[in-house]
Amino acid sequence: MKDMMPDNISGEYQEHLFSYHDGTQRKALFTNIETQLPEGRLIVSRTNTDGIIIDVNQPFIEMSAYHKDELIGQPHYILRHPDMPAAAFSDLWKMVQQRNKWHGYVKNLRKDGGFYWVYATVIANIRKGDITGFTSVRRRASRAKINEAEILYQTL
Amino acid sequence: MTHNFTVSPDFNPGHISGWYIFNTWLQRTINEELHLELYNSASEQRKAIADDRVDLIYANPYDATALVRDKGFFPVARADNKTDEAIIAVNHESPILNVEQLTDGTRISSTDDPDVRMMCMIMLEPAGLNKSNTSTTQRDAYILIAKDLLKNDADVGFFLEETYNELSDMTKKQLRPIVHSQIHVIHHLLLVGPKLAHKKDDIQSSLLSMADDSKGVGVLKNLNFERWVAVEQEEAEFMIDLMDTLAE
Ligand SMILES: Cc1cc2nc3c(=O)[nH]c(=O)nc-3n(C[C@H](O)[C@H](O)[C@H](O)COP(=O)(O)O)c2cc1C
């Protein structure tokens, strides 16, 4: 995946070099500017079995600040934020591969370097007994829960 | 053999005659006897489903989930340009301007329509509210929820957006929505049960061409539908997965 570009970033930023599970690396740029998911809106995406994005809805596009064609076909880690512990995602993958529902608070990185918090749920799409992909739905989280998650994630 | 048709009880009572007209039209078109049975509450309807007394249903998204996954119903069609959205409203004089101003002990007035309840409880989460720190009065009709708000017997009311919009102007003037969902991908579905499955393609093609004949247009009008559009298995499965992520 291409490094994030300073031209796309609004505000003062820091750098972080990610090494993803598939062996690739990416330089991420991030600011401390938060965007709030408006009340009543749900962010929806679907991936194939490898976590490659195959579909997103309009709120996903708006909150991530990417264009739709920059998202489709990309690994879902395009949204990974440096403050998110790897343990959260290994738990996610373990749960959904065992066909269980995963819930968690997630801080995501926007194309402009900003971030947004959501309460996310991920489930396996099971068709005729096989897992054909995954669906995730995110909603607005309460500030109190976000504060708890922030503290917890610093310790992981 | 007569087959039973029903409609999830969350629609506006004003559309009851529309469903009877639709039932008559569909019987003639597919040449199959259909009996329309409307239930007063979601729980009565669920009992009928459990007892296999339903063969054709215009189901809310929540019930559609169980019908497709557990009862072997097949998706056929949905109304075009209609999605299921929910509204949380307050008395227009309430000091509450947004969800996050709500506090523990909030009094909710709601029907037992499961999808509206689910969507609205999700919309209360940003205030840290859930079943354990709120109280709920259950009503049989949306107009009674409006009354609870007008009399200050409840702090917030849960509505299906379409039903809220169809409240009288007088009533709406005394209420104020504080949040409405924008989910876009959740719909009521017309589903055919196993005993009527042999008519599935017939029903689907009749519905799809309904907007092309003048009788059909009149029937649609009584339901406040523009037209039906086909729903294939995968579209329904996608919606069901989505409902699953939202269920507790
Ligand atoms: C349906 C689905 C949705 C996901 N959504 C996100 C997301 O919003 N943000 C995120 O950082 N990771 C998300 N992930 C997890 C990523 O696939 C990935 O595991 C994570 O970003 C960590 O990257 P890494 O495993 O390559 O280190 C999602 C996974 C699935 C299956």
Read off φ and ψ for residue A4, nearest 5 degrees: -75, 145
CB of A102 sitting under 6 A from ligand 1: no
According to DSSP, the residues that pair with A47 across neighbouring strands are A53, A134
Better-predicted residue by pLDDT, B185 or B130: B130
Residue A124 CA to residue A134 CA, distance in Å, equals 4
Among A114-118, B42-46, B185-189, the range scoring the smallest mean pLDDT is B42-46
Percentage of chain B beyond pLDDT 70 is 98
pLDDT of B71-129, one tens digit each?
A: 999 999 999 988 899 999 999 999 999 999 999 999 999 998 888 999 999 999 999 99
Tell me yes or no: is domain A34-153 CATH 3.30.230.10: no
Helix ranges, chain A (H) = 58-64, 68-71, 86-97, 143-155
DSSP A78: G
Please check whether residue B184 touches A, CB under 8 A.
Answer: yes
**Ligand 1 close to Cβ of residue A80 (< 6 A):** yes
A25 to chain B, any CB pair closer than 8 A? The answer is: no
Give me the CATH code for the B86-180 domain, please.
Answer: 3.40.190.10
For ligand 1, the distance from its centroid to the CA atom of residue A60, given in whole angstroms, is: 14
What is the rounded CA–CA span in Å between residue B156 and residue B108?
A: 5
The yes-or-no verdict on residue B50 having pLDDT over 70 is yes
Q: List pLDDT tens digits, range A63-94.
A: 999 999 999 999 999 999 999 999 999 999 99
Residue B150, both tokens:
């007008």
B181 to chain A, any CB pair closer than 8 A? The answer is yes
Burial of A16 per CB tally in 10 Å (0-12, 13-18, 19+):
middle
Q: Measured in angstroms, how far is the CA atom of residue A124 from the centroid of ligand 1?
A: 13
Task: Write down the pLDDT at residue B15.
Answer: 83
pLDDT cut 90: percent of chain B above it:
85
Residues of B in contact with A44 (CB under 8 A): 185, 242
Residue A47 Cβ inside 6 Å of ligand 1? The answer reads yes
Supply the pLDDT for residue A154: 93
Q: Average pLDDT over chain A, rounded to whole?
A: 96
Give the model's confidence band at B11: pLDDT under 50 very low, under 70 low, under 90 confident, else very high.
low
Q: What separation, in Å, do the N-terminal and C-terminal C-alpha atoms of chain B show?
A: 39
Phi, psi of A23 (to 5 degrees): 90, -10
What is the CATH code of the structural domain delimited by B3-83+185-246? 3.40.190.10
As a whole number of Å, the end-to-end CA separation of chain A is 26
Sheet holding B106-110, edge to edge: B134-138, B106-110, B156-160, B86-91, B175-180
pTM of the model: 0.91
Confidence (pLDDT) at A83: 97
Q: How far apart are CA B236 and CA B242, in angstroms?
A: 10
How much is the pLDDT for A3? 95
- Measured CA to CA, the distance from residue B30 to residue B208 in angstroms comes to 13
Ligand 1, pocket-test mutation among A47, A48, A71, A80, most atoms within 8 A of CB? A80
Is the pLDDT at B12 greater than 80, yes or no? no
Residue A125: its chain B contacts at CB < 8 A? 237-238, 241
Domain assignments of chain B as residue spans, ordered by start = 3-83+185-246, 86-180
Asked whether the domain spanning B86-180 has the same topology as the one spanning B3-83+185-246, the reply is yes
What are the residues facing A117 on neighbouring strands?
A107
Report ipTM for this prediction. Answer: 0.90
DSSP character at residue A57? -
Q: Looking at this protein, which amino acid is placed at residue B87? A: I
